[in-house]
Amino acid sequence: MAKTLASEDLEDLAAEIGKTVYIDVAKWHLYLTEAHLDTVLAQRLAPLLLDGSIEEAKVLQELSAIPVQMGGGKKELPLSDLVPMQCQVNFNGPA
């Protein structure tokens, strides 16, 4: 049976991600909570945390798999293209 995070733990993870990970647009920081992407990323990273396999390459793979619509849907970019490398490398999961 696959391990899953309890609802409260997933919410805590999303809150931690939401306040520490941001999208950088023209030197403006839009935190993932504000962009409503914190829970999406938490759901994708939770299995990695539970397996103890949270590695930079896997985090980048998950970021790359999340599409973000830009300009009212005129363009779509992977979240990995919008999150600065420092946020990708420094992700340590919940405090």
Q: pTM, whole model, 2 decimals?
A: 0.84
Copy the structure tokens of residue 90: 């420094």
For residue 83, what are the contacts with CB-CB under 8 A and spacing of at least 6? 21, 22, 23, 24, 63
Q: What gap in Å lies between CA 22 and CA 88, rounded to an integer?
A: 10
Whether the per-residue pLDDT at 95 is higher than 50: the answer is: no
Average pLDDT of span 8-14: 93
**Residue in this structure with the two tokens 């793979």, named with its chain if needed:** 61
Look up residue 86 and give its amino acid.
Answer: Q
State pLDDT tens for residues 20-54: 999 999 999 999 999 999 999 999 999 988 888 78
